[in-house]
Every structure is written in structure tokens, then in C-alpha cells.
Amino acid sequence: MDAVRISFPTLNGNGEITIMLSSSHKRHVTGCPQALSSGYYFRLPASAELRRIITSNFGKDEEAMNQSKRNLFILSALSAALTANFFYMAPQAACAKKSGKSKKTTVETKTVTQGDAESAIKNQLSSLAAAAMKADAEQMASFFALDGSYVNEDGLRVVGRPSLKEHFAKHVSPEMNGALKLEPHQIRLIGNDTAWIEGSTTRQIANQKSTDARFTMLLTNQNGTWVIQSATETTVTPKGSAAKLSDLDWLVGDWVAERGTEKVRMTAEKVGNGNFLHLKYLIAKAGETPKIDTQVIGWDPNRDQIISWHFDSSGGFGYGRWRKQDNKWIINAEGVEQSGWNSTATNVISSVDKNSFQWQSMRRTVDGLTFADTEPLTVKRVSQ
């Protein structure tokens, strides 16, 4: 900035300093100074110290001040201070003091709320799932940013809408049998225009819902529309029946139980590639021919539950539904006796330790007649 020629400062009754600048400095304070024939003057608030200096050294006698070398040095320092203070303050504020009016500038910032963002993002995911069900590759790619990327479980990375469209066209088939959904488990906003999502791809067929994949996405808000900047997807391998039965692995082995003159020996083994447990009961009672009963335990994916079928040596058969409760297995059993009578019971297996458990049959009925609960029978492991 070039030098500024300032007139002698004076004080008015309101405690303001009046200074005058040459006309050449109008550009620095456009719209603020009051025009005079000789230049521009300003009225600025003065601190108590500045007022004291002006009053004691200058007064209103400019001629006297011109004769004082000391006053010239003070004027130079004061002029520099006033100039620096003025040119770095908001000109509008200085003018407002003069006019008594204030100009308020408001900058509007639109904040995206978590609820609004979640709603918009969920709508985008629903639309993407609908496009995937129709195998509309072009529509699917449109939900990505122009430079958006997708990474599958094998690490293959596809970048850009044209490449994404080509990839989806090759690998996505129309969904004919069920409803596909992209379900977000977590949506986390990062500022107003970025969101991180973790979720799963699910498929609904009739009353059965399965998870096909897990995904993560980074979305950005571009002109009010949430688009996918990057996405990764990992296929979920459904647990097989063998895995579902793993809670009963402890049953595998040979077991024995005795009550009075009756002795039961049970052998449990995995069959069908581990998808079933086969149990064989050898029941021996003094003076009677031994009997062999059979039970098969498996997994019902429709009920999402362990189930069993049992067959006794007399010709009866039945069905049981298993559920775990703490350290117990509750089995709701229904059967048909060899005579044709219908039977029901609630059988309870209670774990004692890794080498023993108790078995008890409760709430027993045969063709509508109620029978007393049996006493708990302790079953011990012989070998594993």
C-alpha cells in the first residue's frame, strides 16, 4: 500500500477521532468515507489513551503543532496506528457508527441431518436392489459416481460407470424366485456429504430369508443425490446342516444307563457327511428279548431348528423338535404307537458334565390319557 497522507486528528464530543485522507486513497475505503473537497475524512472510535494523547499534545491548534518537532513524531506514530487500525477493520462497521444503521450479512449453511441422510440412502439402496433384481446393468451403474469403484470377494476391482455396466451385465442375472434387498446395518455420516455404510444383501423366498453377501460402501452427496464412490462385497457361505448340528457333537460316542433290571446302551455317530446324527438304543431287560430302537437327528432349514425322527422295535414312530435352553435341550415329541394310539411328551436332556447327562420324560400322554413324569435317568459315557 502506498503512503497515506493524514490530516491532524481532532476529537469530537462523542469521543471519536476525525482524520482526513487524500482523495487518491478512496479505493481503499470505497463506500465508507464522507467526501470533502480536499479529500476524505473518517470518524473512528478512540480509546481513552488516544484521546489523552490528542488532547494533551495537539488540542485544536494545528499551527502550534506544526511548530513542535516532538508533536510531529507523535503525529506520525498516531497516524500509522490509526491507518493500520482503519484499513484492517471492516469498512462497513466504521460506516455503521456514522449512520447509526448496521448491515447484517447472513451466510446460510444447510446441514444434513442423520435422519434425512439415512432415509435418502435407504431409498437409493432399495432402488439399486430393484435394478439388480431386473439385472439392469446400466441402471445399476448409474448409482455409482462417474469414477466409482466396486471390489468383489476375489479382489477384482472395477472402476468407472462404463466398466461397471459391463461387469454387471456379465455377472448379474434376473431374480425370478425371491426378493433381493440391500439392508444397511450401520450408516455413519462423515460431514454433510459423505457416508460410510455396512450392510448385507438378503434374499427372501416364501417365508425363508437368507443372507447372500456382506457389503461396505462409501457414498458421497453430489448435488443432493447420494452416489456410491466405492463398494466392496463378500459372499456369505450358508452354514450347512453339519454346522447347525455342531452343538450336539458331544453326543457322539457310547453311553450307558441303568435302572433296576433294565439297562440301556446308546451309541451315537455322525452319518451322511456329518449332516445327521444316528443314535441306536439297545434295551436289555432281564427275562426279555433285547430291543433296538433307532433315532435320527438332523436340521430342518424351513423351521430353522434341529429335529429328530425315532423308530421303536415294536413298530411305533415319532417326531421331535429340539431347542436349547441354558444347559438343557427341550424336545417336544409326538408319536404314533404300534397300536395306533397318538402319544406326546416333553423330553429333557440336561448336561451334567462332558461325560454324563440326565434324561427325563415329562407331560406324557397316550391317546389323551396323562401319565406321570419319569424319574431323571443318569446316562454316563463309556467311550467317545
pLDDT tens digits, one per residue of 237-287 = 666 777 888 889 999 999 999 988 899 999 999 999 889 999 999 999 988
Q: What is the pLDDT along the chain (384 residues), one digit of tens a residue?
A: 444 444 444 445 554 555 544 444 443 443 444 443 344 444 445 455 545 555 554 444 444 444 444 444 444 444 444 444 444 343 444 444 444 454 554 544 456 688 889 999 999 999 999 999 999 999 999 999 999 999 998 889 999 999 999 999 999 988 766 788 999 999 999 988 999 999 999 888 766 677 889 999 999 999 999 999 999 999 876 667 778 888 899 999 999 999 888 999 999 999 998 899 999 999 999 888 999 999 999 999 888 899 999 999 999 999 999 999 988 999 999 999 999 999 999 999 999 988 999 999 999 999 999 999 999 999 999 976
| Chain centre to alpha carbon of residue 121 | 12
How many angstroms separate the CA atoms of 368 and 344, rounded? 9
| HSE-up (13 A, CA, CB side) for residue 141 | 20
Domain with CATH 3.10.450.50 in the chain: 114-235
Give DSSP secondary structure letters for 140-173. HHHTEEEEEEEE-TT--EEESHHHHHHHHHHH--
Q: Are 178 and 103 within 8 A, CB to CB?
A: no
Residues 6+ apart with CB under 8 A from 249: none
Residue 217's closest CA among 242, 241, 234, 192?
234
Give the global pTM.
0.43
Q: Which residues contact 32 (CB under 8 A, 6 or more apart)?
A: 42, 91, 92, 94, 95
Kindly report, as residue ranges, where domains of CATH 2.40.128.20 are found in the chain.
Answer: 242-383
CATH number attached to the domain at 114-235: 3.10.450.50
Rounded distance, CA 10 to CA 85, Å? 17
CA-closest candidate to residue 42, choices 80, 86, 78? 86
Q: Which fold has domain 242-383?
A: Lipocalin (2.40.128)
Output the pLDDT for position 134. Answer: 92
Report d(CA 124, CA 225) in Å as an integer.
9
